[in-house]
């Protein structure tokens, strides 16, 4: 019998472990070298609020076979993207968005990606809150794009069909805009140097618990999100287009699940 090597074990492991590893790299690089305008205590409080909410849900609702992986990823997402000028906002938003997974549900499936909902709630309802664009530097972002896409191709391309479809459609709309207005190609490529886009693509819209189950719907749904994000920013000229697009398009998941029945995803 062939003994599996380390690479094989990593590729067969829960994809969330890889997500957590990459988000740790992003957060450490940002805080230590790029000054992300977030204090370590805010990060700790974010994890306290989020993990405490997950703990309460597990104990009170008595959910079985549910761990803390997704809650950890949500807390990392908030730490990377959400900012405020005080300390209490971070744990409050983390507690709120993790709790939403167990409260705002349809057909035994939560509607909104927790990190996205936390960001939308924070910037609209809590004064002194904003979204960090996640500018980690040109070389670092390029290296991460290659790492993430390479991992997808090598292991779980099917599980990341939503991410790849979103990238395709979003890039297509940006390409059409670039050609239509006759912009230099630097304008097009500059759009992909945002750390926020990286986190959104691989850790938010890709969430299998809040995306359609059928492969065809996994292609159609991100097309709607990409179009909404494009219109939000380049027609209405509003900020934070990715998060608002996902927020408004989230209910479409249940429509697509109805038209494209498929086995529900389970970790």
Q: How far is CA 13 from CA 58, 69, 163, in A?
A: 23, 13, 19
Q: What is the pLDDT of residue 106?
A: 85
Cα distance between residue 202 and residue 152, in whole Å:
10
Cα distance between residue 55 and residue 204, in whole Å:
22
Contact (CB, 8 A) for 167 and 198? no
Q: What is the pLDDT of residue 16?
A: 79
Tokens found for residue 9: 């074990």
Q: Hey, how many other C-beta atoms are within 10 angstroms of the C-beta on 127?
A: 10
Burial class (CB in 10 A: 0-12, 13-18, 19+), 10: middle
Beta pairing partners, 110: 105
Q: What is the pLDDT of residue 138?
A: 64
Tokens found for residue 51: 């993990």
Among 132, 62, 120, residue whose Cα is nearest residue 93: 120
Q: Give the pTM.
A: 0.89
Q: What is the pLDDT of residue 76?
A: 94
**C-alpha angle 125-203-158 in degrees, rounded to nearest 5:** 140
Contact (CB, 8 A) for 121 and 78? no
pLDDT tens for the chain, 267 residues long, are 555 555 555 556 667 788 888 888 888 877 767 666 788 999 999 999 999 999 999 988 877 667 898 899 999 999 999 999 999 999 999 999 999 999 998 887 889 999 999 999 999 999 999 998 766 666 667 777 767 766 765 556 566 889 999 999 999 999 999 999 999 999 998 888 888 888 899 889 988 889 999 999 999 999 999 999 999 999 999 999 999 999 999 999 999 999 998 787 665
- Using left for φ > 0, alpha for ψ between -120 and 50, and beta otherwise, residue 240 falls in left
């Amino acid at each position: 019998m062939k003994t599996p090597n380390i690479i094989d074990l990593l590729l067969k492991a829960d994809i969330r472990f890889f997500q957590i590893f990459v988000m740790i790299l992003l957060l450490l690089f940002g805080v230590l070298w790029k000054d992300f305008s977030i204090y370590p205590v805010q990060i700790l409080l974010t994890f306290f609020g989020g993990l405490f909410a997950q703990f309460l849900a597990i104990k009170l609702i008595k959910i079985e076979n549910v761990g803390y992986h997704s809650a950890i990823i949500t807390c990392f997402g908030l730490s990377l993207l959400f900012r405020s000028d005080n300390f209490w906002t971070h744990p409050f938003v983390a507690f709120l968005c993790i709790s939403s997974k167990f409260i705002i549900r349809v057909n035994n499936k939560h509607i909104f990606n927790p990190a996205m909902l936390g960001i939308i709630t924070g910037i609209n309802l809590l004064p002194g809150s904003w979204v960090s664009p996640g500018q980690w530097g040109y070389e670092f972002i390029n290296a991460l794009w290659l790492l993430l896409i390479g991992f997808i191709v090598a292991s779980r391309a099917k599980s990341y069909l939503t991410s790849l479809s979103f990238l395709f459609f979003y890039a297509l709309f940006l390409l059409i805009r670039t050609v239509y207005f006759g912009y230099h190609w630097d304008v097009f490529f500059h759009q992909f140097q945002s750390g926020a886009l990286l986190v959104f693509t691989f850790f938010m819209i890709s969430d299998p618990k809040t995306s359609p189950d059928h492969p065809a719907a996994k292609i159609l749904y991100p097309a709607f999100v990409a179009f909404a994000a494009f219109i939000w920013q380049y027609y209405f000229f509003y900020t934070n287009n990715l998060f608002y697009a996902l927020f408004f398009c989230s209910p479409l998941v249940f429509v697509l699940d109805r038209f494209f029945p498929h086995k529900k995803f389970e970790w």
